[in-house]
Amino acid sequence: MDLRRAVSIAAGACAALALVGTAGAVTWTQVTGEGRVVGTWHEPPAASPTPVAAQQAVPVPGAAAGRPARDPRTTTAPAPEPSATGAAGDTVHESAGVTAEDGRQRIGELLSVDKLLGYGAPRREVFRYPGASYVKLHFSRMAMLPGDYVTVSDAAGRESYRYEAPKPLEAPAGRWAMSITGDTAVLEVHRGGGTLAGALLGGLGVRVDRVAKGFTRKEQASAPAEQLRNPNRTGREESVCGGDESRDAVCYRSADPVAYTRSKAIARLLINGTELCTGWRIGTKNRMLTNNHCFDNSDDAYETEVWFNYQCARCGGFEVFRPTKVWGDKVIATNHTYDYTLFTIENFGSVRKFGYLTLDTARPARGQELYVPQHPAGEPTRIAGRLGEKAGTCSVADNAFDGYARDSDVSYFCDTEGGSSGSPVLSRKTDKVVALHHFGGCPNSGVRADLLHNRIKTYL
């Protein structure tokens, strides 16, 4: 049995959820709005994002059948400070200090832990990492009696995910729980009335062997930038072109409400627990678009968290709304040369309210003004393109720019950073997507939407 298929979610006052169905086939739908602030990202005084040097692209397979297993890597990072509430003794996992896949921004680290809960062991454990932007638990074992369940919650209980006991002999191994926003995750085993006689058989209990924790802002600022650089260009070229003119998306709410509304359709993709890209809803169906270099197969999509509405609560503020989180599901189409992956998500009904974007089937003209909603360096949604004035350098520089193929891209000087891969580049004239961002380099560039439309229109 799949751990994820048996999860029900309690989301508190910020977004109450209605549960429908039975164990093993639970569905859930969004009932109310988006309102409660649950954590902080910015740390005063607010600092401009550090310009990033783009990295060289490395070709990846275009097939959607699974990616070969990665070679073991042994680079390590300094051990983190012990948790004040029970995670003392944690050590850095062997891959924690390894640079992310090319083009995927690293936004966290993996820690090795060994915590056993339930059935003679403690039933509650707090995993706290001060300043972390999220905490995500990995279960190496989940063997419980029928009727028992575990919850993973934030400290206040406003964000909480419930995982039912697997059926006998179907206990899943090696599964990630959904992340908890903020620096604290509380794991608790709940008894549902099953007899303890089964515990005498041995092997029962819930074991956590790994934790992924999101970087603090200070740690993120020092993390290597992982935006791809156009292979046709040389040198270390920055993707923030001059001064960074991007702003928090909420800053556009009054000055440019259309751009703000369009930004709601983008999502932060948390890949492998510690890596980041941007994705977005395309069309009315259950379809999401990102880059092929972010992931290219259903196995990776299935383990990817998709965060909608991860935005600052006020312009220039430090508080963020709790995002609506769903899991990725299946890759429908992917291509390396045009660097796209089209995929589906679970619990699609919960994110319909955030709207969708459409592709512009006409090649944009040179000089056409643009804006780019994105999650640069793991931050809440920002929009590149001058606020309340002409777009300035955020406009089409070349509408026949060479990417992986001749004339495949649109180039521009809109500011992007690591984590912006997969962002939509929209025309201010049509408010449609004219490019799928994938390369840094000043000019930065994205795959032309008219070429993408011809390749994926049958799936939309």
Closest CA to 293 of 326, 329, 238, 334: 334
Whether pLDDT at 46 is above 50:
no
Structure tokens at 122: 């403690």
Q: Output the pLDDT for position 356.
A: 98
Give residue 442's pLDDT band: very low, low, confident or very high (50, 70, 90).
Answer: confident
Q: Output the pLDDT for position 209.
A: 97
- Top-confidence range, 66-70, 292-296, 411-415: 292-296
Structure tokens at 276: 């980041």
The CA radius of gyration of the chain, in Å to the nearest whole number, is: 22
pLDDT tens column, 350-381: 999 999 999 999 999 999 999 999 998 878 99
Give residue 281's pLDDT band: very low, low, confident or very high (50, 70, 90).
Answer: very high
Give residue 307's pLDDT band: very low, low, confident or very high (50, 70, 90).
Answer: very high
Closest CA to 206 of 173, 179, 162, 178: 173
* Average pLDDT of span 22-36: 31
pTM of the model: 0.76
Q: Output the pLDDT for position 114.
A: 97
Closest CA to 344 of 380, 290, 273, 294: 290
Q: Output the pLDDT for position 221.
A: 75
Give residue 215's pLDDT band: very low, low, confident or very high (50, 70, 90).
Answer: very high
Q: Domain 220-459: which CATH class?
A: mainly beta
pLDDT tens column, 61-115: 333 333 233 332 222 233 333 333 333 333 222 222 234 456 688 889 999 999 9
Structure tokens at 57: 């692209």
* Distance between CA atoms of residues 324 and 311, nearest Å: 11
Angle 372-266-162 (CA atoms, 0-180°, nearest 5)?
155
Query: Where do the structural domains in the chain lie, given as residue ranges?
Result: 108-214, 220-459
Positive or negative torsion for Cα 337, 405, 372, 99: positive
The CATH label, of 3.30.1330.200, 2.60.120.10, 2.40.30.270, 2.60.120.1540, for the domain at 108-214 is 2.60.120.1540
Give residue 393's pLDDT band: very low, low, confident or very high (50, 70, 90).
Answer: confident
In this structure, how many other beta carbons lie within 10 angstroms of the beta carbon of residue 41? 19
**Percentage of residues in the chain having pLDDT higher than 90:** 53
Give residue 173's pLDDT band: very low, low, confident or very high (50, 70, 90).
Answer: low
* Range with the poorest average pLDDT among 14-28, 260-274, 340-354, 406-420: 14-28
